[in-house]
């Protein structure tokens, strides 16, 4: 690891570094730092622009501009009566460790650290705008996961699970698991929820995943959905908490000739929605769901022996949602096997963030309002792609964060819905949720699939 020391480093030679190189160095610092006893507040706006810059793809697309030196002017406010400067409470900031190293890239002077127990105002401590501020805050749940070599698919799924409230509540409370996978998962979640902003290396967990599901052995790129299902299956052997993901579908066969119907009930852990493979600008989540649940004729090679007609008939098959789970996961089927190769469908699926209302799909009148709290994203093509996750800090600051392996940064809610979205994690909410009916009906009516 080559890190320029602060005296040798200038903003000029930092600019000559490639964005990806800068990201790698800061990622390594996030991983290798010891338990920090101090954090630095950096403007969320500035940090987001830096993240955009370092994620500029190599040789393609419009490059995001490199932000100037760390600018905290938007998170500092001055008391109009006392003239004191302080951290604006309602302004968005992100806490980072190792700011000194980020600062190296911008040739900033090293500032004095504040004593957290000091009663001095920021100004009395010699702090002015554009300088870093030390503060102690609770920042659990903001740790990244080290990439062990093509393990972004695993990191992405684990971050989504780690931010699933019933999962982390359960695994942080109960440490009596017998199974190795559940033990390792519980330990990993405990580390993620107690390690500050330091990245956690999920090495032991990976070996237990490999043991439970040998297809993941080695360092090859895999599917975050496949990992999610394998992990939930493995955890289920040890704990019933996984049942929060379990819903039921009713599958009906209808004989058009006599109207005879046969129902079977199957449980599901996620719903895998087909996407249009023809070039499409955008489609709504509910129209994908309608397509998935739609009635379709069984092929002539799949005739049904109708108990009424007592003969083989061509039947129609129809799926219905029967029982919806507390945690509802949708897989947007972006990876499609054609005759000779696998291709990726980049269609933009418009899905609701605040309120997904599935009432019209379920007959039994249960609460069917859901809110999005995590997304597993896949960027790029098959094999070369990269998985990341968005997750909301529920019951904390209720802000969204972007988990890109070891790096974690705040992200605006408006960026959550993108054509990279692959797995959508919704949780059931009570009917007391504030309804934004105007916005929701607008989303529902938007069907540009044709």
Whichever of 235 and 255 has its CB closer to Zn ion, that residue is: 255
Q: Which residue has the tokens 């996750």?
A: 389
> Is the distance from CB of 107 to CB of 6 less than 8 angstroms?
no
| Out of 308, 346, 412, 447, the residue judged to bind Zn ion by CB under 5 A | 308
> Does the protein bind Zn ion through residue 309 (CB under 5 A)?
yes
222 is catalytic: no
- Rounded Cα–Cα distance for residues 224 and 375 (Å): 11
Catalytic residue among 152, 255, 306, 368: 152
In the shown chain, the binding pattern of residues 254 to 293 toward Zn ion, with x for contact by CB under 5 A and - for none, equals -x-xx-x---------------------------------
Binding mask 104-123 for Zn ion (x = CB under 5 A): --------------------
CB 317 to Zn ion: min, Å:
15
Residue 313 CB, nearest distance to Zn ion (Å)? Answer: 5
Closest approach of Zn ion to the CB of residue 158, in Å: 49
C-alpha dihedral over 115, 116, 118, 119, to 10 degrees?
A: 150
Judged by CB, which is closer to Zn ion: 149, or 256?
Answer: 256
Toward Zn ion, which CB reaches closer, 113 or 258? 258
Q: Say how far apart CA 3 and CA 5 lie, in whole Å.
A: 6
* CB-based burial, 320-352: b 16+ in 10 Å, e otherwise: ebbebbbbbbbbbbbbeeeeeeeebbebbbbbb
Both structure tokens of 106: 């911008």
Judged by CB under 5 A, does residue 329 bind Zn ion?
Answer: no
Determine, following the binding rule CB under 5 A, whether residue 306 of this chain makes contact with Zn ion. yes
Interface characters, 358-397, with Zn ion (x: CB under 5 A): ----------------------------------------
The tokens for 245 are 């993901």
Q: How far is the CB of 305 from Zn ion (least distance, A)?
A: 9
Residues within window 229-258 making contact with Zn ion, judged by CB under 5 A: 255, 257-258
Q: Which residues contact 390 (CB under 8 A, 6 or more apart)?
A: 374, 375, 377, 400, 401, 402, 403, 411, 415, 416
DSSP string, 175-232: ----SHHHHHHHHHHHHHTTSTT--B--HHHHHHHHHH-GGG-SS----HHHHHHHHH
Work out the burial of residue 170: count CB atoms within 10 Å of its CB; fewer than 13 is exposed, 13-18 middle, 19 or more buried.
middle
Nearer to Zn ion among residue 61 and residue 259 (C-beta):
259
Size of the site for Zn ion (CB under 5 A): 7
* Cα 68 to Cα 417: distance, rounded to the nearest angstrom: 28
Q: Which residues pair with 372 in a beta bridge?
A: 426
**For the chain, first and last CA: distance in Å?**
52
Residue closer to Zn ion, measured from CB, 295 or 447? 295
Concerning whether 160 is annotated as a catalytic residue, the answer is no
Smallest separation, CB 431 to Zn ion (Å): 41
Choice between 255 and 349, CB closer to Zn ion: 255
Beta carbon of residue 252, minimum distance to Zn ion (angstroms, whole number): 14
Q: What amino acid positions are annotated as catalytic residues?
A: 152, 386
Residue ranges that bind Zn ion, judged by CB under 5 A: 255, 257-258, 260, 306, 308-309
């Amino acid at each position: 690891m080559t890190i320029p020391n602060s005296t040798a480093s200038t903003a000029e030679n930092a600019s000559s570094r490639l964005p990806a190189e800068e990201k790698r160095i800061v990622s390594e610092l996030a991983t290798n730092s010891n338990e920090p006893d101090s954090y630095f507040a950096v403007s969320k706006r500035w940090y987001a622009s830096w993240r955009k810059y370092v994620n500029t793809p190599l040789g393609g697309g419009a490059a995001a501009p490199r932000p100037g030196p760390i600018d905290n002017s938007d998170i500092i406010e001055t008391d109009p009566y006392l003239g004191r400067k302080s951290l604006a409470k309602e302004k968005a900031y992100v806490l980072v460790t190792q700011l000194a190293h980020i600062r190296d890239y911008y040739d900033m002077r090293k500032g004095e650290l504040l004593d957290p127990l000091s009663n001095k105002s920021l100004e009395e401590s010699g702090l002015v705008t554009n300088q870093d501020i030390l503060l102690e805050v609770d920042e659990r749940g903001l740790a990244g996961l080290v990439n062990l070599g093509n393990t972004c698919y695993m990191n992405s799924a684990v971050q989504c699970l780690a931010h699933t409230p019933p999962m982390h509540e359960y695994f942080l409370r109960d440490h009596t698991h017998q199974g190795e996978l559940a033990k390792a998962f519980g330990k990993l979640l405990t580390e993620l929820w107690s390690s500050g902003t330091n990245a956690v290396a999920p090495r032991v967990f990976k070996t237990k995943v490999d043991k439970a599901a040998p297809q993941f052995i080695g360092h090859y790129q895999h599917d975050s959905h496949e990992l999610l299902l394998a992990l939930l299956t493995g955890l289920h052997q040890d704990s019933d908490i996984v049942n929060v993901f379990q819903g039921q579908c009713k599958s009906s066969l209808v004989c058009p000739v006599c109207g005879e119907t046969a129902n079977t009930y199957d449980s599901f852990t996620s719903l895998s929605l087909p996407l249009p493979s023809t070039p499409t600008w955008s489609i709504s989540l509910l129209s994908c769901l309608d397509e998935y649940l739609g009635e379709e004729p069984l092929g002539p090679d799949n005739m049904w022996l109708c108990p009424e007609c007592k003969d083989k008939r061509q039947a129609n098959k129809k799926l219905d949602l029967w029982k919806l789970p507390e945690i509802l996961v949708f897989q947007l089927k972006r990876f499609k096997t054609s005759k000779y190769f696998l291709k990726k469908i980049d269609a933009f699926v418009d899905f609701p963030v605040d309120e997904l209302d599935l009432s019209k799909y379920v007959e039994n009148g249960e609460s069917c309002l859901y809110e999005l709290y995590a997304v597993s994203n896949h960027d790029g093509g098959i094999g070369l792609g990269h998985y990341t996750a968005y997750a909301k800090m529920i019951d904390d600051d209720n802000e969204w964060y972007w988990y890109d392996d070891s790096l974690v940064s705040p992200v605006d809610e408006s960026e959550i819905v993108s054509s990279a979205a692959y797995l959508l994690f919704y949780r059931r909410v009570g009917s007391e949720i504030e309804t934004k009916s105007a916005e929701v009906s607008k989303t529902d009516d938007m069907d540009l699939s044709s």
